[in-house]
Structure 1
Amino acid sequence: MDNEVFRKTYRAINERFCPFEKSILTNNCGCSRGRRFCIAEREGINCGSDAAQARCLELLELLRRQARFALKATDEDAALPHAKAMRVQVGGLRGLHAVAMPDAPIPDTIEDIHGIIEAALDHFHTLAALPYQPIIRQIAAYQGRRRLRRPR
C-alpha cells in the first residue's frame, strides 16, 4: 500500500488516535482505553475516550517540554526521532509510575496507561503539578532495544 494512501486512510479511520501508540505497538505499554485496528497488514491504536486522549496529549506535551534538555532536543516544535519519542513515552510512563506509586517497583511493561495517569491525578490533582525531576530521570535512563550487529 502506498504510504500516502495509508496515511489518508489511517486519519479517516482513526479520528481519536492514541498519543502513546508507539509504546503500545512495541509492547512496552498497554492501555484499558486503547483499541487495536488493522489497515492493510499495519496496526494502529484508537483511544476509546475523548477525555482520556486529552489527558494523554497534555501529559505527552509536558513530558516532551520537561525532557528537552535530557534528550538534547533544542527545537521544541520539531518531531522527535523514533528512539527519542520512545524514551519520552516509555521512560515518562515509568517515571509517572514511580511518582504515583512510590512503594511499588517500576514494571518493565506499563500495563495500563490510563490507570497510571488516573493514579497520578488522584495523588497530584493536575498533570502540571507532577514532580518532573524523578520522571525525567526515568526518561534519561530508558534504553530502548539495541540494534543487533550482524556478523560480517
Structure 2
Amino acid sequence: MEEDKYRSTYNELTPVRCVFEKTLTNHQAKCLKARHFCLADREGYACSDKASADKCRKFLEKLREKSIFVLKLREINGPLPHNMEIRVQAGGVKGLSRLETPESGSGSNDAEVSEDINALLDRSIEKFGSLDDFPYSEIIQSVVKFQGRRRRQRK
C-alpha cells in the first residue's frame, strides 16, 4: 500500500487518535476505550471517546515534560524516537499503576501488562485531584527502570 494512501486511510479510521498507541501495540498496557484495527500489514488504535483522549494526551504531555532529564534531552520539539516514546509511555503507565499498588513497586511486575489506561487515569485523578498533582517524581522512576524488548542476537 502506498504510504500516502496508507496515511489517508489511517486518518479516516482514527478520527480520535490514541496517544498511547505504541504502548498498546507493544502489549505493555490495555485500554477499554481503544479500538484496535489492522490496515495493510500494520495495526493501530483509535480512541472511542474524545474526552478520554484529551485526558490521555495531557497526561502524556506531562510525562514527556517530566522525562526530559531521564532521556538526556534539553527539550522536546516534536515526536520522540520510537524507543524513547515507548519508554515514556509504558514506563509512565506502569509507574502510575505502581502508585495504586505500592507492594508491587519492587520491580517484580515489569513484565505485567497494565490494565485499562483510562480507568487508571480516572482513579488517579480521583486520588490526587488533577493531572498536575500527580507525583511525577515517583512515576518517572518507572520510566527510568523501563526496558523494552531486548534485541535478538544474531547467530
Indicate whether the TM-score tops 0.5. Answer: yes
Alpha-carbon distance in 1 for matches of 2:151, 2:39: 27
Aligned counterpart, 1:78: 78
TM-score, with structure 1 as normaliser: 0.93
Matched, 1:130 2:134: yes
TM-score, with structure 2 as normaliser: 0.91
Higher mean C-alpha deviation, range 107-116 or range 133-142:
107-116
Structure 2 unmatched runs, 5+: none
Identity of aligned residues (%): 34
Structure 1 unmatched runs, 5+: none
Aligned counterpart, 2:143: 139
Alpha-carbon distance in 2 for matches of 1:52, 1:14: 14
RMSD of the alignment, in Å?
A: 1.3
Aligned counterpart, 1:54: 54
AA aligned opposite 1:116: L
Alpha-carbon distance, 1:69 to partner: 0.4
AA aligned opposite 1:105: S
Alpha-carbon distance, 1:145 to partner: 0.7
Aligned counterpart, 1:63: 63
Alpha-carbon distance in 2 for matches of 1:42, 1:52: 24
Alpha-carbon distance in 2 for matches of 1:117, 1:32: 12
Alpha-carbon distance, 1:104 to partner: 4.9
